[in-house]
Amino acid sequence: MTLSISQALAVFQPGLPLAVALSGGADSTALLLACADRWPGQVRAIHVHHGLQAAADDFERHCIALCAKLAVPLAVQRVDARPAAGESPEDAARKARYRALSVAAHSLGVQHVAIAQHADDQVETILLALSRGAGLPGLAAMPACWQRNGLTWHRPLLAVPGSAVRDWLRVRGQDWIEDPTNADPHYTRNRIRAQLLPVLQAVFPQFRDTLPRSAAHAAQAQLLLTEVAEQDLAALGQPPRIAPLRALTRPRQANVLRHWLRHCHATSASAAQLNELLRQIAACTTRGHRLRLKVGTGYVLRAGDALDWQPA
């Protein structure tokens, strides 16, 4: 069910003091105003200056002026968000942003951070996951609350449509900075927003309710699969022994191997890599069978009667 900003903030119960990630765009500007109204004196703001575009200085000036008007303490973090070789610019900027937000939050003495993604952002995330053939973790899209780097992160506006955010700001006469990259068709999210969401609105007017509902079902199913994987990995041992692994059904083998790689080695296998790994495990019927396969950022290999993983 979509909500207004007032309704979303009414059910938002973070720990205080609260830091708001403030980019200077409409969404984070609205979130900061709403939080500062509800918890006066208990809100801080963090602005990350990526330095990737000419408008970055305008964003910083907007954030400084807004926080001064609201009497909200502001921490500005400047980062180098240039991508490494083979890394997408979006991923590089996202990682740099979360690192900077974490550092600033700890320096401000807060344990809860609010991010301003809204219902349209959630739908875009789901559609991107579908386009990439993602599994349940991808289809679960963005969680409303999660833990990272010793902090609790919140997305209180996930049920609020993007248009409602801007309408709320206009009623209050509050301006914001429009990110020029939001109109760049080079980015898939922008094409989804400009071309696909209007079609969904015309054909499936309730898509902001129904697609996130499917994402919530996927997230619940993934939690169950994680519980099964934890139980299976405990039974297989660490590292996982091959013989009891082969005794599991193929779907449970795939599930526990994904869990082992992700949670024990911070990597993940592509569908092709996982299928080949399962095929080779099925062939491990003798002690002499060797196994060494590129998986994620390293190699899965046989070490006696168990599997091992080595970074590349």
- Checking DSSP bridges between strand 18-21 and strand 43-49, what pairing results, if any? parallel
Strand order in the sheet with 18-21: 74-78, 43-49, 18-21, 112-114, 151-154, 145-148
Task: Calculate mean pLDDT across residues 252-259.
Answer: 97
Tell me what the pLDDT averaged over the chain comes to.
Answer: 93
Q: Percentage of the chain surpassing pLDDT 70?
A: 99
End-to-end CA distance of the chain: 46
Partnered with residue 47 across adjacent β-strands are 76
pLDDT score of 301: 94
Least-confidence region, from 4-18, 52-66, 80-94, 296-310: 80-94
> How many other CB atoms sit within 10 Å of the CB of residue 147?
9
pLDDT score of 186: 86
pLDDT tens column, 201-216: 999 999 999 999 999 9
Query: What's the predicted TM-score (pTM) here?
Result: 0.90
Q: Is the peptide bond before 239 cis (omega within 30 degrees of 0)?
A: yes
Task: Calculate mean pLDDT across residues 108-121.
Answer: 97
- In Å, how far are 33, 35, 40, 51, 164 from 67, measured between CA atoms? 9, 12, 12, 20, 22
What would the two tokens of residue 16 be? 């205080």
What would the two tokens of residue 280 be? 């080779």
pLDDT tens column, 121-162: 999 999 999 999 999 999 999 999 999 999 999 999 999 999
Q: Where are the beta strands (DSSP E) in the chain?
A: 18-21, 43-49, 74-78, 112-114, 145-148, 151-154, 292-295, 298-303, 306-311
pLDDT score of 52: 66
Of the candidates 59, 81, 61, 58, which has an alpha carbon nearest to the alpha carbon of residue 69? 61
